[in-house]
Amino acid sequence: MNLADVPIRLLAASLVIVLAHRAAPTQPAPPAPAVGVVEATRRPITETSEFLGRIEAINRVNVAARVTAFLEQRLFTEGAEIRKGDQLYRLERGPFEADLAAKQAQVAQLEATLENARLTTERARTLLGGPAGQQSTYDAALANQRSLEAQVQAAQAQVKASQINLDYTVISAPIDGKIGRTTVTEGNIVGPSSGVLATIVSQDPMYVTFPVPLRQGLELRERYGPQGGLEAVTIRLRLPDGRMYGQSGKLNFVDNSIAQNTDTITVRGEIVNPILRAPSAAGVTVHELTDGEFVTVVLEGVQPIEVLAIPRSAVLSDQRGDYVLVVGADNKAEQRRIQLGQSTPTIASVIDGLAAGDKVIAEGLQRVRPGQTVSADPASALILSSMKDAASEAAPRTNHGAPVRTGPADRSK
């Protein structure tokens, strides 16, 4: 190779590169990402708190035999709804009827003897006015009469006891409710030592009891005490399958002591439990709530409160906590750290970090980074309508049978 040709080749290559660079088209700057914004505004929201609770029947009765006898007949269908006074079991009556008849005969015998004693006493009293009368004879007749009167009263008491025992051979329901399975069958001997024959639990209404940590209980007292105490709170229930129960209730009891092992106080409410559908041919009914069932208790304030609200979908989280992206005056996205308060699935209430009127990015968050210029427009109608719906649902409720739509207390996202 001729060394003299190298500079010429380098010059030619440089010229080609310069010409290619000048011929390449200029790439335009990428457009600002489009985002939907919502202004932070003050809206009504219903305060809620959640606790784990258990359904309890208001009345619960363990049916037992009061006398010892053969069980002749069971008169109920297991699992059926029964009424107070319905006959449940019938025991053997013969021995008790015979005992009652013997006691009644004894009373009749004593009453006849008493009648004769009364005649003797009256005769002795009449003779006291004549020469043949003696005071001692009259006194003895009167004492015998009073003794017989006491014996008659004792015999009548025995008749009453025998009648009571005879009545115990028919075991009836003391309350309205649903009866469980029987623990004995016909032909067995039952008595006071036989234990529980069946259990009856009332169905409508029901209690729901739940423990409240002391610290949270003090917060609830501070929040609702000035508003009416127990009357300022409505009970809603979330069932084990996640559905919200379609009835609401009221608190009616707060225990008078703190459980030392858990540092909680027991609170109780009452809620209706109507029949879901008509009884079957066997009389078996179905209610939504069952004695002993675990539920999530949602305490809702009757009166909503005003909070600075933004869509829940606008809230983001990282290791440092919650934050939102807002659009500044220069159309650049800014990160704002916020502190959340009581919220719903659609509305997040902001305690600190935002001011009314701030434009919060609610749509297009995945395309935006802090400091980036954005093209901001009002959020879609779906976001805005969800905010309005949540605000309207926060209005005071007068129908306690309405479905629950307000959500639980704020939880980690």
Question: What fold does the segment set 50-58+202-301 form as a domain?
Answer: Elongation Factor Tu (Ef-tu); domain 3 (2.40.30)
Q: Give 122-178 pLDDT, tens digit per residue.
A: 887 787 766 656 788 878 888 988 888 899 999 999 999 999 999 999 999 999 999
The structural architecture, per CATH, of the domain 71-89+173-201 is Beta Barrel (2.40)
Q: Give 393-409 pLDDT, tens digit per residue.
A: 544 443 333 333 333 33
Q: What tokens were used for 282?
A: 């066997």
Q: Would you say the C-alpha torsion 62, 65, 70, 74 has a positive or negative sign?
A: negative
Q: Give 79-101 pLDDT, tens digit per residue.
A: 888 899 999 999 999 999 999 99
The per-residue pLDDT for 377 is 79
φ and ψ of 41, to 5 deg: -135, 160
The residue extents of the domains of the chain are 34-45+305-393, 50-58+202-301, 71-89+173-201, 93-168
Mean pLDDT, rounded, for 42-66: 88
The per-residue pLDDT for 60 is 94
The per-residue pLDDT for 17 is 58
- Residue with the larger pLDDT of the pair 173 and 378: 173
Residue 61: is it exposed, middle or buried by C-beta count within 10 angstroms (0-12/13-18/19+)?
middle
The per-residue pLDDT for 282 is 67
What is the Cα–Cα distance from 361 to 39, expressed in whole angstroms?
A: 9
The per-residue pLDDT for 320 is 86
What is the Cα–Cα distance from 327 to 115, expressed in whole angstroms?
A: 109
Mean pLDDT, rounded, for 56-63: 94
> No. of H helices and E strands in the chain?
5, 26
Beta carbons of 318 and 308 less than 8 angstroms apart = no
Residue 260 has pLDDT above 80, yes or no: yes
How high does pLDDT run on average in the chain?
81
Residue 27: is it exposed, middle or buried by C-beta count within 10 angstroms (0-12/13-18/19+)?
exposed
Q: Give 278-288 pLDDT, tens digit per residue.
A: 777 666 788 88
Q: Do domains 50-58+202-301 and 71-89+173-201 have the same CATH topology?
A: no
The per-residue pLDDT for 44 is 75
φ and ψ of 175, to 5 deg: -140, 165
Q: Give 316-369 pLDDT, tens digit per residue.
A: 888 888 888 888 878 888 888 888 877 767 778 888 888 888 888 888 878 888
Beta bridge partners of 352: 339
**Residue whose token pair is 């363990």:** 62
Q: Label residue 388 by pLDDT band (50, 70, 90).
A: low
Beta carbons of 220 and 49 less than 8 angstroms apart = yes
The DSSP H or E segment spanning 132 is none
Count the helix, strand and coil residues of the chain and give each as a percent rounded to the nearest 5: 30, 35, 35
CATH number for the domain whose boundaries are 34-45+305-393: 2.40.420.20
